[in-house]
Amino acid sequence: MPPDNLIDGRAIAQEVHAETESRVAALKSAGVEPGLRFVRVGDDPASEVYVGMKERSAAKLGIRSETTVLPVETLQAELLELLEKLNADDGIHGVLVQAPLPRHIDEAKVFSTVSPAKDVDGFHPVNAGKLIIGEGGGFVPCTPGGVHELLIRSGVTIEGAEVVILGRGNIVGKPMAAILCQKAEHANATVTLCHSRSRDIAAHCRRADIVVAAMGVAKFVKADMVKPGATVIDVGVNRIDDPAAGNGYRLIGDVDFAVVQPIAGRITPNPGGVGPMTIAMLMRNTVRAAEQQTGAVSR
C-alpha cells in the first residue's frame, strides 16, 4: 500500500478526465465536436513523446486532434502564417504549439499569434493578463492549473497559507504565484517567489506550509528545507544518466523524494504527480474553448 501522504496525480487526473468526458458528450449532443491542433517544429524526441501522450488523451475523451509537423528549417513567417489559418478555422477550438522551438523562431511572438480564444496553453499575453488581474474567461497555463487542482482536491488548505514557489518561469512559477495570491476561493495565500538570485532559499522554504518546486534542478529540495507537515509539490523534470535504464537515463524531480517524503504532510510523487494533471487541464481547457466559441453549452 502506498504511503498515505502521497498526492496521487494519476487518480485526480482521472477525476478531471471523467468530468471533461461528460462535457464532450454534451457538446457532441449539441452538434459540436471539440477540435485540438498540435503544431511541432523539428524532430525533438521529447516533444514527439509529449504530443503523442496528449493525442492519446484527446482520443480517449472524444476530442478530435491532429498534429502538424513542420521541418526544423521552417521560417518564423511560415509558422505564423499557419497559426493565422488555424485561428480562422472554426473547426479547431484549441491550438497548441509545442515548445521548445528552433532557436531562429521567437517563442513569445509565436505564442502571442495564437488567438487568445484558442490558446489552451494559456501563454497568450491576454490570458496571462486576465490571470494576473483575476478576470475570468481566460485560460490558465496547464501545469500551474493542474497543481492548483491537486491542492484543492487533496484538501490542502490554501487560504492564509505561506507558499514558497521555487522558480520564476512564465510557464509555472509566475502563473502559479498569480493563481494562489488571488482574492478568490481556493487562493488568498501569502506567496514568496524564489529564484536563482534569492538569498537563503532554504530559510524561505522552512517557513512554508506549501512548497512548489519548479526550478529544474534535480533533487534540489532536501529534508532540512521542509517544515514538518508541509505540502510539497514537485514540478521538476530533470534528465540524469542511469546506465541501468534501458535508454541510459531516467527522469527525476526537483525534490529529493526519499528524504523529504517522511517529513512532508502531503507530497506528490514524481512521476505520477503533476505530469498527469498537466494533460488533464489541457483537455479541460480545450473543451471550455469549444464551449465558449460555439455557445453550444453554457459554462
Please give the positions annotated as active site.
54, 98, 121
Alpha helices, DSSP H, located in 154-209: 173-181, 201-206
Distance, CA of 123 to CA of 154 (rounded, Å): 27
Give Cα separations from 70 to 76, 82, 124, 231 (angstroms). 11, 10, 21, 41
Distance, CA of 220 to CA of 253 (rounded, Å): 9
Residue with cell 526550478: 215
Residue with cell 490558465: 140
Q: Which residues of 11-38 are buried (b: 16+ CB within 10 A; e: fewer)?
A: ebbeebbeebbebbeebeeeebebbbbb
Task: Quote the crossing angle between the two packed helices 45-61 and 274-294, to the nearest 10°.
Answer: 60
For residue 198, what is its C-alpha cell? 534569492
- Strands 231-234 and 266-267, by their bridges, are parallel
Task: Quote the crossing angle between the two packed helices 9-29 and 142-153, to the nearest 10°.
Answer: 110
- Strands 64-70 and 231-234, by their bridges, are unpaired
